[in-house]
């Protein structure tokens, strides 16, 4: 799918009863208006959240305030277009060599402006609305993203491929990721679905609820998430409420080496829980499941091996 769309269109001509010569002159005038409407290379794109962004041409200088977008641009070979990233854009390692504009919540707008970007990519899941408003006041084109499903992730990769002129690389990456997702889903399709508690953050206890990427990944990996029907996307749970659901598997998202160990100790005290009795308390790399870049499929495969090791010829880890 091409992200490019002409910014001007010939208006429909109502000619009822007019002679052919008048129609010809009107058409010629419309063509003249079209040709003078703007720069020859200007095009308009619509971001995944439905906002229209008009650019003078294909972006050559991109600032990414979204770690997942940074990963995608590297994965499709468009890293040369990246002139600025956040402190959290740490994958691949080469991303940290790009000019930093600060954090996601409060990036340095002075640094962003100094980089003279053609486009700034942002997300409502991590950046503040105030940042979007300030960027637009500075006349910097803003492209919003916020995938909440695997299909959204693949769509974003295709969009960024088109936007950066790396359509072929993006197409190949999407096809590869899609094959891997289907392979996991096929392997676990006929297996029992254990009750799984996935912990995004330990204190306060935050879990995946309805309509979020992690909940979909758990379902694709062959699990019934015990919190997937929660009304909020990322509800807070009490420890008692989580234990009451009797999870057969508990997966703790790690956000650093010490955090993973400390989180396990808290859950291991509940020796009557089916997950603890069976020794099915796992630490997973949260960056794989929570960032919606290409590594999200690595996260899916990791979850599937935790939940159904028998489907992959292995013992439970």
Domain boundary among 86, 114, 146: 146
Q: Are residues 32 and 76 in the same domain?
A: no
User: Does residue 138 lie in a domain region?
Assistant: yes
Residue with tokens 């990721």: 177
77/138 same-domain check: yes
Q: Specify whether 194 is located in the same domain as 308.
A: yes
Distance CA 101, CA 87 (A): 7
> What six digits make up the tokens of 225?
């998430």
* pLDDT average, residue stretch 57-64: 95
Tokens for 212, please give them.
């979020």
Do residue 102 and residue 134 come from a single domain? yes
Query: What's the rounded mean pLDDT across residues 79-98?
Result: 96
In order of 146, 250, 252, the CA distances from 284 in angstroms are 23, 10, 6
Residue 61 domain-assigned (yes or no): yes
pLDDT score of 26: 34
> Mean per-residue pLDDT for 249-254?
94
Q: Which helix (H) or strand (E) holds 14?
A: none
Total residues found in the chain within this entry: 317
Q: Mean pLDDT of all residues in the chain?
A: 85
- Tell me, yes or no, whether 129 and 238 share the same domain: no
Q: Is residue 178 part of a domain?
A: no
* Alpha-helical regions (H) of 8-164: 20-35, 67-75, 109-114, 129-137, 150-164
CA 205/CA 71 separation, integer angstroms? 28
Residue 105 and residue 217 in one domain: no
> Is the predicted pLDDT of residue 15 greater than 70, yes or no?
no
Q: pLDDT band at 313, cuts 50/70/90?
A: confident
**Confidence band, pLDDT 50/70/90 cuts, at residue 3:** very low
Angle subtended by helix axes 150-164 and 67-75, to nearest 10: 60
In terms of domains, do 16 and 63 share one?
A: no
Averaged over 208-228, what is the pLDDT? 96
Q: Do 53 and 28 fall within a single domain?
A: no
Q: For residue 172, name the pLDDT band (cuts at 50, 70, 90).
A: very high
Residues 212 and 248 in one domain: yes
Residues 132 and 217 in one domain: no
Q: Which of 85, 117, 146 is the last residue of a domain?
A: 146
**Domain final position from 111, 146, 181:** 146
Q: Would 165 be classed as within a structural domain? A: no
Q: Is residue 90 part of a domain?
A: yes
Give the model's confidence band at 312: pLDDT under 50 very low, under 70 low, under 90 confident, else very high: confident
Q: Are residues 31 and 47 in the same domain?
A: no
Taking CA atoms, 161 is separated from 74, 79, 172, 302, in Å, by 11, 11, 10, 27
Quick one: pLDDT at residue 259?
53
3-state secondary structure of 303: helix
Percentage of residues in the chain having pLDDT higher than 70: 83
Query: Cα(215)–Cα(22) distance, rounded to whole angstroms?
Result: 61
Residue 182 falls inside a structural domain: no
With a cut of 90, say whether residue 279 has pLDDT above it.
yes
Q: At what angle do helices 167-188 and 213-220 cross, to 10 degrees?
A: 50
CATH number of the structural domain spanning residue 96: 3.40.50.1980
Inform me whether the pLDDT recorded for 35 exceeds 50.
no
Span 133-148, pLDDT tens digits: 999 999 999 999 999 9
pTM given for the model = 0.83
pLDDT band at 261 (very low <50, low <70, confident <90, very high): low
- 185, 274, 304, 307 from 188: Cα distances, Å: 6, 21, 8, 9
Structural domain for 209, as ranges: 189-312
Residue 184 lies in a domain: no
Number of domains in the chain: 3
Query: What's residue 198's pLDDT?
Result: 97
Residue 81 falls inside a structural domain: yes
Q: Is 17 left (phi over 0), alpha (psi -120 to 50) or beta?
A: left
- pLDDT of residue 245 exceeding 80: yes
Instruction: Assess whether 2 and 48 both reside in one domain.
Output: no
């Amino acid at each position: 799918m091409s992200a490019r769309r002409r910014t001007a269109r010939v208006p429909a001509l109502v000619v009822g009863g007019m002679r052919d010569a008048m129609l010809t002159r009107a058409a010629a005038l419309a063509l003249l208006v079209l040709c003078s409407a703007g720069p020859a290379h200007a095009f308009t794109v619509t971001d995944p959240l439905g906002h229209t962004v008009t650019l003078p041409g294909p972006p050559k200088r991109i600032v990414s305030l979204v770690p997942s977008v940074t990963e995608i641009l590297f994965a499709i070979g468009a890293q040369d277009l990246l002139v600025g990233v956040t402190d959290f854009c740490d994958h691949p390692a080469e991303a940290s060599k790009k000019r930093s504009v600060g954090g996601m919540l409060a990036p340095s707008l002075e640094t962003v402006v100094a980089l003279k970007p053609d486009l700034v990519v942002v997300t409502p899941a991590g950046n503040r609305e105030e940042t979007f408003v300030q960027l637009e006041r500075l006349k910097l084109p803003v492209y919003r993203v916020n995938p909440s499903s695997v299909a959204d992730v693949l769509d974003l990769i295709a969009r960024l491929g088109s936007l950066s002129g790396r359509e072929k690389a993006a197409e190949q990456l999407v096809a590869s990721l899609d094959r891997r997702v289907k392979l996991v889903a096929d392997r676990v399709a006929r297996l029992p679905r254990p009750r799984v508690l996935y912990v995004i953050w330990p204190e306060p206890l935050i879990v995946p609820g309805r309509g979020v990427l992690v909940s979909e990944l758990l379902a694709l990996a062959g699990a019934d998430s015990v919190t997937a029907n929660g009304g909020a996307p990322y509800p807070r749970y009490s420890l008692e409420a989580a234990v009451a659901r009797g999870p057969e598997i508990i997966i703790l998202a790690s956000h650093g080496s010490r955090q993973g160990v400390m989180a396990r100790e808290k859950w291991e005290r509940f020796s009557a829980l089916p997950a603890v009795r069976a020794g099915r308390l796992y630490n997973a790399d949260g960056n794989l499941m929570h960032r919606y870049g290409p590594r999200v499929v690595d996260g899916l495969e990791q979850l599937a091996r935790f939940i159904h090791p028998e489907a992959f010829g292995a013992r439970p880890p």
